[in-house]
Amino acid sequence: MSLYLSALNFAHTFSDSSTLVRDRQIIISSTFKLVLQDSAEQRHETALSLKESQLCELETQLEMLRQQAQSQDAQTSSELMAACESDKIAASRAMTQNKQLKEQLEELETAIVQLVRDNFIFNESF
Protein backbone atom coordinates (compact mmCIF):
# COMPACT_ATOMS: atom_id res chain seq x y z
CA MET A 1 0.00 0.00 0.00
CA SER A 2 2.86 2.26 0.64
CA LEU A 3 3.85 1.90 -2.98
CA TYR A 4 0.32 2.74 -3.96
CA LEU A 5 0.34 5.88 -1.78
CA SER A 6 3.72 6.83 -3.10
CA ALA A 7 2.42 6.41 -6.65
CA LEU A 8 -0.66 8.49 -5.81
CA ASN A 9 1.45 11.10 -4.15
CA PHE A 10 3.79 11.14 -7.15
CA ALA A 11 0.85 11.39 -9.58
CA HIS A 12 -0.65 14.18 -7.54
CA THR A 13 2.69 15.99 -7.36
CA PHE A 14 3.24 15.40 -11.07
CA SER A 15 -0.26 16.71 -11.79
CA ASP A 16 0.42 19.78 -9.65
CA SER A 17 3.75 20.30 -11.38
CA SER A 18 2.15 19.83 -14.76
CA THR A 19 -0.55 22.37 -13.88
CA LEU A 20 2.09 24.73 -12.55
CA VAL A 21 4.13 24.38 -15.73
CA ARG A 22 1.01 24.95 -17.86
CA ASP A 23 0.12 28.01 -15.77
CA ARG A 24 3.63 29.36 -16.14
CA GLN A 25 3.54 28.71 -19.89
CA ILE A 26 0.23 30.59 -20.11
CA ILE A 27 1.69 33.46 -18.08
CA ILE A 28 4.85 33.54 -20.20
CA SER A 29 2.82 33.32 -23.42
CA SER A 30 0.50 36.12 -22.27
CA THR A 31 3.46 38.24 -21.20
CA PHE A 32 5.15 37.65 -24.54
CA LYS A 33 1.96 38.62 -26.38
CA LEU A 34 1.70 41.81 -24.29
CA VAL A 35 5.34 42.64 -25.03
CA LEU A 36 4.71 42.11 -28.73
CA GLN A 37 1.57 44.25 -28.56
CA ASP A 38 3.44 46.97 -26.68
CA SER A 39 6.21 46.82 -29.23
CA ALA A 40 3.72 47.05 -32.10
CA GLU A 41 1.93 49.93 -30.36
CA GLN A 42 5.25 51.72 -29.85
CA ARG A 43 6.10 51.27 -33.54
CA HIS A 44 2.68 52.61 -34.49
CA GLU A 45 3.04 55.52 -32.08
CA THR A 46 6.49 56.28 -33.47
CA ALA A 47 5.19 56.10 -37.03
CA LEU A 48 2.21 58.28 -36.09
CA SER A 49 4.48 60.80 -34.40
CA LEU A 50 6.71 60.91 -37.49
CA LYS A 51 3.69 61.41 -39.77
CA GLU A 52 2.38 64.18 -37.51
CA SER A 53 5.77 65.87 -37.64
CA GLN A 54 5.84 65.60 -41.43
CA LEU A 55 2.31 66.96 -41.60
CA CYS A 56 3.30 69.97 -39.48
CA GLU A 57 6.28 70.63 -41.74
CA LEU A 58 4.10 70.41 -44.84
CA GLU A 59 1.52 72.75 -43.30
CA THR A 60 4.28 75.24 -42.50
CA GLN A 61 5.60 75.02 -46.07
CA LEU A 62 2.08 75.46 -47.43
CA GLU A 63 1.54 78.57 -45.33
CA MET A 64 4.88 80.00 -46.46
CA LEU A 65 3.98 79.33 -50.11
CA ARG A 66 0.59 80.98 -49.63
CA GLN A 67 2.25 84.05 -48.12
CA GLN A 68 4.76 84.18 -50.98
CA ALA A 69 1.95 83.87 -53.52
CA GLN A 70 0.00 86.68 -51.82
CA SER A 71 3.11 88.83 -51.73
CA GLN A 72 3.82 88.16 -55.39
CA ASP A 73 0.17 88.85 -56.27
CA ALA A 74 0.31 92.15 -54.41
CA GLN A 75 3.60 93.04 -56.08
CA THR A 76 2.25 92.04 -59.50
CA SER A 77 -0.91 94.07 -58.88
CA SER A 78 1.17 97.10 -57.88
CA GLU A 79 3.36 96.69 -60.94
CA LEU A 80 0.31 96.39 -63.20
CA MET A 81 -1.28 99.46 -61.65
CA ALA A 82 1.94 101.43 -62.15
CA ALA A 83 2.21 100.20 -65.75
CA CYS A 84 -1.42 101.19 -66.42
CA GLU A 85 -0.87 104.62 -64.92
CA SER A 86 2.27 105.07 -66.98
CA ASP A 87 0.40 103.98 -70.12
CA LYS A 88 -2.38 106.48 -69.34
CA ILE A 89 0.14 109.29 -68.99
CA ALA A 90 1.89 108.28 -72.22
CA ALA A 91 -1.44 108.10 -74.08
CA SER A 92 -2.45 111.51 -72.75
CA ARG A 93 0.85 113.03 -73.85
CA ALA A 94 0.55 111.39 -77.27
CA MET A 95 -2.97 112.79 -77.71
CA THR A 96 -1.81 116.28 -76.69
CA GLN A 97 1.13 116.03 -79.10
CA ASN A 98 -1.18 114.84 -81.91
CA LYS A 99 -3.49 117.80 -81.28
CA GLN A 100 -0.55 120.22 -81.41
CA LEU A 101 0.75 118.63 -84.61
CA LYS A 102 -2.70 118.92 -86.23
CA GLU A 103 -2.86 122.60 -85.27
CA GLN A 104 0.63 123.18 -86.72
CA LEU A 105 -0.38 121.31 -89.90
CA GLU A 106 -3.47 123.51 -90.27
CA GLU A 107 -1.31 126.62 -89.79
CA LEU A 108 1.12 125.37 -92.46
CA GLU A 109 -1.74 124.57 -94.85
CA THR A 110 -3.20 128.04 -94.27
CA ALA A 111 0.25 129.62 -94.84
CA ILE A 112 0.78 127.60 -98.05
CA VAL A 113 -2.66 128.58 -99.35
CA GLN A 114 -1.93 132.22 -98.56
CA LEU A 115 1.51 131.95 -100.20
CA VAL A 116 -0.02 130.42 -103.33
CA ARG A 117 -2.64 133.20 -103.49
CA ASP A 118 -0.03 135.88 -102.95
CA ASN A 119 2.16 134.31 -105.63
CA PHE A 120 -0.80 134.11 -108.02
CA ILE A 121 -1.71 137.72 -107.42
CA PHE A 122 1.92 138.78 -107.80
CA ASN A 123 2.23 136.89 -111.09
CA GLU A 124 -1.03 138.35 -112.41
CA SER A 125 0.09 141.83 -111.68
CA PHE A 126 3.03 141.55 -114.12
Summarize pLDDT for 96-124 with one digit per residue, the tens.
999 999 999 999 999 999 999 988 888 88
Query: Does residue 121 sit within a domain?
Result: no
Boundaries of domain holding 4: 1-92
Looking at the structure of the chain, the number of domains it has is: 1
CA–CA distance, 89 with 102 (Å, rounded to integer) = 20
pLDDT at position 115 is: 92
The pTM of this model reads 0.43
Query: Does residue 116 sit within a domain?
Result: no
Closest listed residue to residue 114, CA positions, set 122, 103, 126: 122
Query: Does residue 56 sit within a domain?
Result: yes
Query: Does residue 118 sit within a domain?
Result: no
